[in-house]
Amino acid sequence: MIWQTSRFRIDLAQPRVMGIVNVTPDSFSDGGRFFSVDGRTALAHCEQLLRDGADMLDIGGESTRPGAPPVPLAEELARVLPVVRHAVTLGVPVSVDSYKPEVMAAVLDLGADIINDIWALRQPEAAAVVAAHPSCGVCLMHMHREPQTMQAAPMEGDVVPQVLSFLEGAARELLALGVDARRIALDPGIGFGKTVAQNFSLLARQRELLAAGYPLLAGWSRKSSLAAVTGNSLASVAQLDIADRMVPSVTAAVLAVDRGARIVRVHDVKQTVQALKVWLAAAAP
């Protein structure tokens, strides 16, 4: 299976690790550790993730934690563009996590390879930006409601068929705009408007999502559902202990790959790469 992107045809015969680069002062997962006004901290983090074994980078300038306020367009551009400008020189696919069409257009002009959109291109003009590009990759994610309200009233019922139906519909809309199917990947949106039980249902039954026919990206890294089942509270950023979240996150990433995910989006790149090497050794004929 190949994921076609702006500059790269990514071979997904083996699972790929997408390293997360949060260029935000309020990320739920790292508390702004890699945010600086001039972007230099994030640039160094990009390079460290590649040394740790990341296959691609995912750069985001707006926190999507529950209740996070929207970031003004100008501020998001100021955060993201310097990092993208450097990242595209590093020889790996570069993804940008944004739902704003203006940000999408700007980063694609700089040479970014993938648009990773939590809104699945539902914002006005977002789908048009992607469709107008000759080859960029796109990841369509399922989100119930919006970041400000998604956990106030999570989904109800069996989420697996609901998520599958949504993602299939989002992909069909892109195909209708002339986007090649090989450019599309799907993300079930772990934590985005789902209960703990629903998130783990999506993991347990993840293979059902493969029926859509697209590569699956799994983003379990440092999610609160992992804390809920391991007893580690993630009540506030100030209380977060990153070390306590690493093992559950890596475990979830390996389980997701074992159930058919082809890309895992992670913070703990080095540990995830090592764990997947063990998985690959056991999976080899």
Catalytic site positions: 223, 265
Burial 191-224 (b: 16+ CB within 10 A, else e): bbbbbbebbbbbbebbebbbebebbbbbbbbbbb
CA pair distance 274, 277, nearest whole angstrom: 5
CA pair distance 216, 204, nearest whole angstrom: 14
Q: Residue 172 burial by CB count (10 A; 0-12/13-18/19+): exposed, middle or buried?
A: exposed
CB contact at 8 A, 46 and 90 = yes
Beta bridge partners of 4: 9
Sign of CA dihedral 138, 142, 143, 145: positive
CB contact at 8 A, 112 and 94 = yes
CA pair distance 17, 261, nearest whole angstrom: 11
